[in-house]
Structure 1
Amino acid sequence: MCPAYRRKTPEEILQEIEHLKRGKLKVYIGSAPGVGKTYRMLQEARDLRNEGIDVVIGLIETHGRRETAELIKNLEVMPKLQVHYKGHALEEMDTEAIIQRNPDIVIVDELAHTNVPTSKREKRYMDVEEILKAGIHVISAVNIQHLESLNDIVEQITNVKVRERIPDQFLHMANEVILIDVTPEILRKRLKDGKIYHHSKIEQSLENFFTKSNLGALRELSLREVADDVDERIEKAKKSNGQSGPTGAHERIMVCVQHGGNAEKLIRRGWRIANRLKTDLIILHVSNEASMNRSAEERKKIHDWKKLAAQFNARFIAEQMNNRKIAQTITDVAVENGVTQIILGQSARSRWEEIWKGSIVNNIMRYASGIDIHIVSDYKTRES
């Protein structure tokens, strides 16, 4: 039976029903505090209210910003929950009150916030999860440094250990992710003008977290994260429509090497392209022989290619053809790994072989869709 017509299990049907009941999540993501995420959320809340949609403020931190506070006027703000901890009365978002109020949409700021230890849930994103389960739509915001997978990278860039983090999967399950992007120069000016932190923190912030190099690197991380997110969404949409092939939103380079004399040249050319595009590099070697049947010379070449690949932080794949044509094997690996550009050396086949067996390039183009192919000439330099 075709998989598309397989009868769904009762558990799968229940999961689909629960998914339909679930609220939708929109997340504004930025490279650093002060890019304008909260301001943008409140603007959207006012627009939604003017359209007659029931929207409330679950929690917003203005941080003393006058423009942000102005946007809250005339919007319904849910009272905060009083939480007692170590003799102090602290405030947190009242998740249960929001669920009971049951608006169409709730605005929740600072998604990575850690709740007071005596709270029902440890993190604010967990509160948001409960609100979504109740069928309420959520608009929230987070900065790139709070993503779990980027924690080490952010610390290396900024020398700051970010302790409040959210799982990457939570962001990836959002129905919509929107990047709020400003240049480091604009962000530093906002800081100097007192639009981000209190005046007492400005000089210290400019010299530490808000340096141009830090902000530039965090901005690049934000752009790449959102690009990857778009890539994944396009890929999922294509798969659900029965389509295959790369999306093209995020480049992936694959170099194909055989036992000719230009393999290392191809690897270096591939690295230069991948480095320029700031993307991943794959080195592919296709063989008719299983690894145990390769000659000593072949094993040594593969060992040398692996060493060179490691230098360039590239992934090396040795693929056996298994009764496939070489072009089909290359295409299979490319599609499986989401490759958008394939780099090949000039064919060593004679003109008669190409007529009899077919051009590898032409066959790849026939098998693959949406993949660019680069042919590197096999010129030889003269020894001096």
Structure 2
Amino acid sequence: MIHSSELTNHPDEVYAQPNRTYDRPRRRGKHKIFIGMAPGVGKTFRMLEEGHRLKAEGIDVAVGLLETHGRKETAAKAEGLEIVPRKTMLRSEKKLAEMDAEAVIERRPQLALIDELAHTNIPGSLREKRHQDVEEILNAGIDVFSTLNIQHIESLNDLVARITGVVVRERVPDSVLETADEIVVIDVTPETLETRLLEGKIYAPEKIEQSLKNFFQRRHLIALRELALREVADSVEDDAGTLKGQVCNIHERVLVCISTYPNSLQLLRRGWRIANYMNAPFYALFVNDPDKFLTKPESLHIETCEKLCKEFNGQFLRVNGNNIAQAISDVAKQYRITQIVVGESQQSRWNLLLRGSLTQKLVRSLKHVDLHIIATEKSGEPN
């Protein structure tokens, strides 16, 4: 997923100008998703704002589906944008309106604005879900802006249910986000969202009190906000890590380097406290020199370290290598480590002058990793 795309920043793709005959090149449309922690954060408003901006730049924009939910500010923001008429369907002798994806494709705007990506279509529609309609529109070469709340992502469904006590039935497969060209988080504080709710800007007055007692509880909003920010941070990190071979770490990850020295248990405890403070994944690494034989006490010591690491819910790593600094550096890059905990060198000053310290070698090979050097008593035999 690429998160730096903007509709007007594709020099290899030429947009048709309105009122002009033009054969659109065969290509899949670009998909940009505006995501938020809950209803009312301003996803639709922001989508409409960008639609107006692009229209002013000469892009042919049409609204495929807009849900205002009675919000006057949102309805007003849609003024001046063409809205593709919905199709009506008869259901239980009632006329219901649904987005007309085929009409959007026939209209062929350069950009379609489509609200509520997780919506389930009326039974009898050509496709069950709105995100499937969007897929058809994208395949027709039309760019799409859409909106989505974090609780509608399939893989987060169980977690959201545990947080809020609400089982969300309308869900979107994670693949929809994975294939999106850009994701934008619309972020507001829980306090701002509560104010909007009390002012009647999200739900009708009769629903406000019930909402505050249920889904819109402060603790729910805080957790959902963190989920939304983390979801996009994960996506950005995955993408940035592939750019020009560089690694971009957004989340903290802590690695403790242990050895046969007795101080390794102390390092593990200190590393776990750092990881716990940062709310970060925790790893422990032992580099085994294949040319050296571990004594029974040393083997038991490493087993004790592994047991303690697992008690801290950490992941214990064991690799073979003659070059300890290189092995640590390789593991740090593989696991995207941001913090490394090591004990101070127990080599003699003469050896340090001749060979250099482990810390110096790590500093040279890992440019964007913080090193924590823990002072300990010099005892035991080195690994």
- Which TM-score applies when normalising by structure 1? 0.86
* Alignment pair present for 1:108 and 2:98: no
Aligned to 1:370: 368
Alignment of 1:101-140 (within 5 A): 101-140=107-146
The code of the aligned residue for 1:307 comes to K
* Alignment pair present for 1:263 and 2:264: yes
| Aligned-residue offset at 1:219 | 1.2
| Aligned-residue offset at 1:88 | 4.2
Alignment of 1:246-325 (within 5 A): 246-289=247-290, 296-321=296-321, 324-325=322-323
Deviations 1:6-63 (A, max 9, x none): xxxxxxxxxxxxx982211111111111111111111111222222210011111101
The DSSP-based 3-state class of the residue aligned with 1:35 is coil
* Alignment pair present for 1:334 and 2:332: yes
| Aligned-residue offset at 1:84 | 4.1
| C-alpha RMSD of matched pairs (Å) | 2.3
Aligned length: 354
Contact 1:289/1:320 (<8 A) preserved: yes
Query: What CA distance in whole angstroms lies between the structure 2 residues aligned with 1:305 and 1:85?
Result: 65
> In the alignment, which of 8, 14, 23 is matched to residue 29 of structure 2?
23
Contact 2:260/2:302 (<8 A) preserved: no
Query: Relative to structure 1, is the Cα distance of residues 269 and 167 closer, same or farther in structure 2, using a 3 angstrom cutoff?
Result: farther
Aligned to 1:146: 152
Query: Relative to structure 1, is the Cα distance of residues 368 and 45 closer, same or farther in structure 2, using a 3 angstrom cutoff?
Result: same
Query: What CA distance in whole angstroms lies between the structure 1 residues aligned with 2:301 and 2:263?
Result: 12
Query: What CA distance in whole angstroms lies between the structure 2 residues aligned with 1:135 and 1:379?
Result: 67
Contact 1:253/1:342 (<8 A) preserved: yes
Deviations 1:116-159 (A, max 9, x none): 33222222222212212221111111111122222222111111
Contact 1:107/1:138 (<8 A) preserved: yes
Contact 2:40/2:196 (<8 A) preserved: yes
| Aligned-residue offset at 1:105 | 0.5
Aligned to 2:18: none
Alignment of 1:145-224 (within 5 A): 145-224=151-230
Higher helix proportion? 1
The code of the aligned residue for 1:104 comes to Q
Query: What CA distance in whole angstroms lies between the structure 2 residues aligned with 1:162 and 1:297?
Result: 54
Query: What CA distance in whole angstroms lies between the structure 2 residues aligned with 1:264 and 1:150?
Result: 36
Contact 1:345/1:377 (<8 A) preserved: yes
Identity %: 49
> In the alignment, which of 359, 362, 368 is matched to residue 361 of structure 1?
359
The DSSP-based 3-state class of the residue aligned with 2:41 is coil
Contact 1:84/1:118 (<8 A) preserved: no
Query: Relative to structure 1, is the Cα distance of residues 318 and 84 closer, same or farther in structure 2, using a 3 angstrom cutoff?
Result: farther
The DSSP-based 3-state class of the residue aligned with 2:265 is helix
Query: What CA distance in whole angstroms lies between the structure 2 residues aligned with 1:217 and 1:228?
Result: 16
User: What residue ranges of structure 1 are gaps of 5+ in the alignment?
Assistant: 1-18
Query: What CA distance in whole angstroms lies between the structure 2 residues aligned with 1:298 and 1:87?
Result: 79
Query: What CA distance in whole angstroms lies between the structure 1 residues aligned with 2:346 and 2:175?
Result: 46
Query: Relative to structure 1, is the Cα distance of residues 20 and 96 closer, same or farther in structure 2, using a 3 angstrom cutoff?
Result: closer
| Aligned-residue offset at 1:327 | 0.6
* Alignment pair present for 1:64 and 2:79: no
Deviations 1:222-251 (A, max 9, x none): 2222222222222122xxx2x33x313222
Query: Relative to structure 1, is the Cα distance of residues 36 and 357 closer, same or farther in structure 2, using a 3 angstrom cutoff?
Result: same
Query: What CA distance in whole angstroms lies between the structure 1 residues aligned with 2:26 and 2:175?
Result: 19
| Aligned-residue offset at 1:86 | 4.9
Query: Relative to structure 1, is the Cα distance of residues 127 and 318 closer, same or farther in structure 2, using a 3 angstrom cutoff?
Result: same
The code of the aligned residue for 1:362 comes to Q
Aligned to 1:6: none
| Aligned-residue offset at 1:171 | 1.3
Query: Relative to structure 1, is the Cα distance of residues 167 and 301 closer, same or farther in structure 2, using a 3 angstrom cutoff?
Result: farther
Query: What CA distance in whole angstroms lies between the structure 2 residues aligned with 1:329 and 1:20?
Result: 48
> In the alignment, which of 39, 44, 47 is matched to residue 33 of structure 1?
39
Query: What CA distance in whole angstroms lies between the structure 2 residues aligned with 1:92 and 1:296?
Result: 72
Deviations 1:322-355 (A, max 9, x none): xx41111111111111112211111222222323
The DSSP-based 3-state class of the residue aligned with 1:227 is helix
Aligned to 1:346: 344
Query: Relative to structure 1, is the Cα distance of residues 296 and 60 closer, same or farther in structure 2, using a 3 angstrom cutoff?
Result: farther
Which is further off, 33-42 or 44-53?
44-53
| Aligned-residue offset at 1:294 | 5.5
Contact 2:119/2:130 (<8 A) preserved: yes
| Aligned-residue offset at 1:301 | 3.2
Aligned to 2:87: 81
Query: What CA distance in whole angstroms lies between the structure 2 residues aligned with 1:300 and 1:288?
Result: 16
Query: What CA distance in whole angstroms lies between the structure 2 residues aligned with 1:313 and 1:82?
Result: 55
